């Protein structure tokens, strides 16, 4: 199988948030069929949905993989589980959250997985880091680039720089 281009969104708002992000990226890098291409800077963001919780740290990563989307989904779920992810309430606090934003130009819709991620264009915490690493990318089902979608986004929640990508990658051992 040929390598496919993938974008993931990662977030954490429990415990040592930066440690959970670095561990998740480290674990992704160690998966045999995944190649890390680049990461965005780390941003501190307000929670969406359930507001009475800690702020998140968020990043977007670009990967190349020979995994099918199902295999990639299982790999990300395994990483979340290995880092203590609990699913008590929708949009609730979490040690780590890994969402598949895009898997090449494929459109997938099933009971447990939807790609492109259905809310990406409404989430500043996704669009800002994504526009940093893939501004000219045109997502499936859209005619605008990520940068244009970022500029059009109605989400006005704060997305503040926390750590640049070079410093973050130095933490990922």
Q: Which residue has the tokens 């800077």?
A: 41
Catalytic, out of 30, 74, 94, 155: 94
Euclidean distance between the first and final Cα of the chain, in Å? 28
Catalytic, out of 17, 87, 99, 123: 99
Catalytic, out of 97, 112, 123, 144: 97
**Does 97 qualify as catalytic in the annotation?**
yes
Q: Residue 141's closest CA among 171, 114, 163, 170?
A: 114
**Does 19 qualify as catalytic in the annotation?**
no
Residue 98's φ and ψ, nearest 5 degrees, are: -125, 115
Catalytic, out of 85, 123, 144, 155: 85
- Judge residue 167's burial from the number of C-beta atoms within 10 Å of its C-beta, 0-12 exposed, 13-18 middle, 19 or more buried: exposed
Neighbours of 134 (CB within 10 A): 22
- Alpha-carbon torsion 91, 107, 9, 147, what sign? negative
Q: Which residues are catalytic?
A: 85, 94, 97, 99
């Amino acid at each position: 199988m040929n390598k496919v281009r993938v974008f993931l969104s990662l977030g954490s708002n429990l415990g040592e948030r930066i440690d959970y992000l670095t561990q998740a990226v480290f674990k992704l890098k160690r998966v045999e069929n995944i190649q890390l291409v680049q990461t965005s800077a780390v941003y501190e963001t307000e929670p969406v949905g359930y507001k009475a919780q800690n702020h998140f740290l968020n990043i977007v990563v670009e990967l190349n993989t020979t995994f099918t989307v199902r295999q990639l989904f299982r790999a990300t779920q395994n990483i979340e589980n290995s880092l203590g992810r609990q699913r008590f309430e929708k949009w609730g606090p979490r040690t780590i959250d890994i969402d598949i934003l895009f898997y090449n130009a494929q459109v997938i819709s099933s009971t447990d997985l939807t790609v492109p991620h259905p809310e990406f264009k409404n989430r500043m915490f996704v669009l800002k880091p994504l526009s940093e690493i893939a501004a000219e990318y045109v997502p499936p089902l859209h005619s605008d680039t990520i940068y244009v979608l970022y500029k059009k986004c109605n989400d006005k929640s704060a997305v503040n720089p926390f750590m640049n990508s070079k410093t973050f990658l130095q933490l990922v051992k």
